[in-house]
């Protein structure tokens, strides 16, 4: 098994086994395929988001989208021509059963039977991209195609690259415990898919378990920082539109921009409470220097009960991988020299 696949499988096993025992939001209605609540649900028709003492929707708490660890970003080929809203709850149940079975079979195929069959995923949708309607990431611009040919290493990545490893720059920002970037920090990767939202009258803060970064989002009128300042998590500015927290982020550092975008990337996130303990997280990605049009994906965040918390993620303290990888690479160099 390649090291890349082994790392990915290990991460997924951790999430799928631990996530199955995590408490769920109390009596939260099941989201439909598009992320909204079922229209016929009396709870969905009468429910209103609670308010903070200063009158804003109260989104505070610890959330997870661990259940979507097996949901592809793009529409799978077998669903060509179909829309997310076309899928009935029964079909989603069958899709979830098939995906879980395939994952279990993959574990068995690689000789790992310890956790096979020990979990159940309850995905809320068949794929994440809702715009464009074909469910695909739009084509790269000609400029981006040239840029991707030149820049192949050092980008933020959820998977450890295969090498060669001449120095620490040959590993991504995630491997080096620096950042997963945005929106990667809230994309489920197999474990640690937990996020804590805190609010005050002027700020909303989001703390990510993985890497343990915190975004502090002003929700009062304040311009973005100057163009000369570039940040790995961008420069967010929030506002309330009814029940929805809208966050516009600019000023990204090119080294951590999402999926190889430029530092001119603009992300628009919409956090909308749709039922008790349920947030729809809708993200629009816009970089005309990378993609031929903006595109949008949606994920469902489920609030954990009030006893849950995010624990320390001591990434740097336990990160012996860099030393080991570079030591192994130098050993391989020495072996080749002797031959």
What tens digit of pLDDT does each residue of 70-99 get? 899 999 999 999 998 889 989 988 888 888
pLDDT over threshold 90, residue 19: no
> Between 30 and 149, where is the model more confident?
149
Per-residue pLDDT band for 137 (boundaries 50, 70, 90) equals: very high
What range defines the domain where residue 303 resides? 3-338
Per-residue pLDDT band for 156 (boundaries 50, 70, 90) equals: very low
pLDDT over threshold 50, residue 325: yes
Q: Can you state the angle between helices 3-19 and 89-109, rounded to 10 degrees? A: 130
pLDDT over threshold 90, residue 250: yes
- Residue 310: name the closest of 121, 111, 63, 101 by CA: 63
283: left (phi over 0), alpha (psi -120 to 50) or beta: beta
Residues 246-264, mean pLDDT to the nearest whole number = 95
Residues 240-248, mean pLDDT to the nearest whole number = 96
- The pLDDT assigned to 285 comes to 98
> Whats the size of the chain, residue-wise?
339
State both tokens at 327: 């030591």
pLDDT over threshold 70, residue 111: no
Burial of 109: CB neighbours in 10 Å, binned 0-12, 13-18, 19+? exposed
Per-residue pLDDT band for 337 (boundaries 50, 70, 90) equals: confident
pTM of the predicted model over 0.75: yes
- The pLDDT assigned to 334 comes to 79
- The pLDDT assigned to 17 comes to 34
Per-residue pLDDT band for 109 (boundaries 50, 70, 90) equals: low
> Between 302 and 13, where is the model more confident?
302
pLDDT over threshold 50, residue 134: yes
> Between 68 and 2, where is the model more confident?
68
- Model confidence over 44-78: pLDDT tens digits? 456 788 999 999 999 999 999 988 888 999 999 99
Alpha-carbon distance of 57 to 226, in angstroms, equals 30
Q: Lowest mean pLDDT: which of 3-12, 107-116, 153-162, 296-305?
A: 3-12
- The pLDDT assigned to 329 comes to 86
- The pLDDT assigned to 23 comes to 33
Alpha-carbon distance of 134 to 136, in angstroms, equals 6
Alpha-carbon distance of 210 to 66, in angstroms, equals 13
Domain count, the chain: 1
Residues 133-147, mean pLDDT to the nearest whole number = 95
- The pLDDT assigned to 59 comes to 96
> Between 293 and 213, where is the model more confident?
293
pLDDT over threshold 60, residue 184: yes
- Residue 265: name the closest of 296, 288, 240 by CA: 288
Residues 288-301, mean pLDDT to the nearest whole number = 97
């Amino acid at each position: 098994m390649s090291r890349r696949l082994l790392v990915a499988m290990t991460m997924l096993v951790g999430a799928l086994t631990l996530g199955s025992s995590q408490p769920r939001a109390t009596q939260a209605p099941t989201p439909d395929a598009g992320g909204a609540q079922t229209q016929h649900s009396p709870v969905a028709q009468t429910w209103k988001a609670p308010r903070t003492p200063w009158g804003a929707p109260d989104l505070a708490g610890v959330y997870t989208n661990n259940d979507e660890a097996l949901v592809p970003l793009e529409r799978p080929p077998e669903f060509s021509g179909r829309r997310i809203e076309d899928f009935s709850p029964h079909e989603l149940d069958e899709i979830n059963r098939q995906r879980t079975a395939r994952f279990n079979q993959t574990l068995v195929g690689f000789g790992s039977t310890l956790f096979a069959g020990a979990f159940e995923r309850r995905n809320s949708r068949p794929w994440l991209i809702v715009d464009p309607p074909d469910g695909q990431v739009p084509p790269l611009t000609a400029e981006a195609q040239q840029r991707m040919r030149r820049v192949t290493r050092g980008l933020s990545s959820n998977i450890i690259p295969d090498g060669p490893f001449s120095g620490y720059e040959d590993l991504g920002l995630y491997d080096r415990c620096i950042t997963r970037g945005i929106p990667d920090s809230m994309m489920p990767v197999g474990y640690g898919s937990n996020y804590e939202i805190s609010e005050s009258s002027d700020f909303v803060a989001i703390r990510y378990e993985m890497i343990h970064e915190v975004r502090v989002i002003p929700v009062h009128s304040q311009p973005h920082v100057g163009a000369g300042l570039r940040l790995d998590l961008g420069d967010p500015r929030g506002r309330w539109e009814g029940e929805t927290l809208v966050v516009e982020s600019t000023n990204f550092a090119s080294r951590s921009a999402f999926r190889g975008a430029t530092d001119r990337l603009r992300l628009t996130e919409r956090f909308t409470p749709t039922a008790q303990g349920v947030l729809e997280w809708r993200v629009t990605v816009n970089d005309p220097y990378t993609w031929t049009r903006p595109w949008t994906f949606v994920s469902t965040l489920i609030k954990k009960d009030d006893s849950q918390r995010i624990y320390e993620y001591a990434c740097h303290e336990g990160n012996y991988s860099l030393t080991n990888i570079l030591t192994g690479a130098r050993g391989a160099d020495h072996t080749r020299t002797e031959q």
